[in-house]
Structure 1
Amino acid sequence: MRKLSIIAVLFALLLCAHLTAPKITAAQEPLAFWIHPYLPATELIKRFTPLARYLEDKLSRPVTIKIEKSYQAHINRVGNDEFDIAFMGPSSYVNMSGAYGKKPLLARLAVRGKPVFFGMIIVRTDSPINNLKDLRGKSFAFGDPNSTMSHLVPRYMLKKAGVSVNDLKKYEFLHTHHNVALGVLGGYYDAGGVKEEVFRQYRERGLRMLAKSPPIAEHPFVARTTLPKTLIKSLRKAFLELNGDDRGPAVLTSMKKSVTGMGPARNEDYNTLRSVMRIGTKPGTDK
Structure 2
Amino acid sequence: MNRIKLMQTLATALLTGALLAPAWAAPSPKAAEVTMGSVAMDIPVEMIKRMSVLTNYLALSAHHNVRFRPSPNMGSAVDDLGKGQTQIAYLTPVAYIEARKKYGVIPLVAPTTQGRPHFSLVIGVKAGSGITTPAMLKGKRFAFGDEKALLQKAAVESMGLVSTDFSTFAYLKHYDNIAKAVLAGDFEGGILKDSVAEAFKPSGINVIGSTAPLPGYVFAVHPSMPMPLRNSLRDALLALKKTTPDMAATLEAFDAAYDGFVTVDDPAYDPVRKLIQPYQK
Aligned equivalents of 2:67 and 2:154: distance in 1? 38
Q: How far 1:75 sits from its partner (Å)?
A: 1.0
C-alpha distance in 2 between matches for 1:187 and 1:25 = 52
The aligned residue for residue 139 of structure 1 is: 140
Higher mean C-alpha deviation, range 228-237 or range 238-247? 238-247
State how far apart, in whole Å, the 2-side matches of 1:48 and 1:188 are: 30
Runs of 5+ unmatched residues, structure 1:
1-21
Aligned to 2:76: 73
- Count of residue pairs the alignment pairs up: 256
For residues 221-261 of structure 1, the C-alpha deviation after alignment (integer angstroms, 9 at most, x for no partner) is 12221222222222212210112763421221121233221
Structure 1 residues 178 and 141, CA gap change in structure 2 (3 angstroms): farther
**Residues 42 and 217 from structure 1, CA distance in 2 versus in 1: closer, same or farther, beyond 3 angstroms?**
same
Map of 2:67 onto structure 1 = 64
Alpha-carbon contact 2:159-2:210 (below 8 Å) kept: no
Pairwise CA RMSD of aligned residues?
3.3
Aligned equivalents of 2:73 and 2:159: distance in 1?
Answer: 33
Shift of 1:212: 0.8
Q: What is the match of residue 217 of structure 2?
A: 219
Residue 170 of structure 1: which of 167, 170, 195 is its match? 167
- Letter paired with 1:170: S
**How far does residue 49 in structure 1 lie from its aligned partner after superposition?**
3.1
Show the counterpart of 1:252: 251
Equivalent AA in structure 1 for residue 37 of structure 2: W
In structure 2, the gaps of 5 or more residues are 1-24
Residue 173 of structure 1 and its aligned partner are, at CA, apart by: 0.8
Deviation string 1:7-58 (CA, Å, 9 cap, x unpaired) is xxxxxxxxxxxxxxx8733234422223344445554343333433332333
Question: After superposition, what is the alpha-carbon deviation per residue over 1:62-118, rounded to whole angstroms, capped at 9, x for unaligned?
Answer: 2233334543222112123443222223322122122223x2222112234432221
Structure (1 or 2) with the larger CA radius of gyration: 1
For the residue of structure 2 that corresponds to 1:26, the secondary structure is: coil
Counterpart position of 2:4: none
Normalising by structure 2, we get a TM-score of 0.74
Give the SS at the match of 2:64: coil
User: Which SS does the other structure have where 1:259 is aligned?
Assistant: coil
For 2:229, the equivalent position in structure 1 comes to 231
Moved more, 49-58 or 261-270: 49-58
Q: Which amino acid aligns with 1:251?
A: T
Q: Which moved more, 1:184-193 or 1:259-268?
A: 184-193
- Residue 91 of structure 2 aligns with which residue? 88
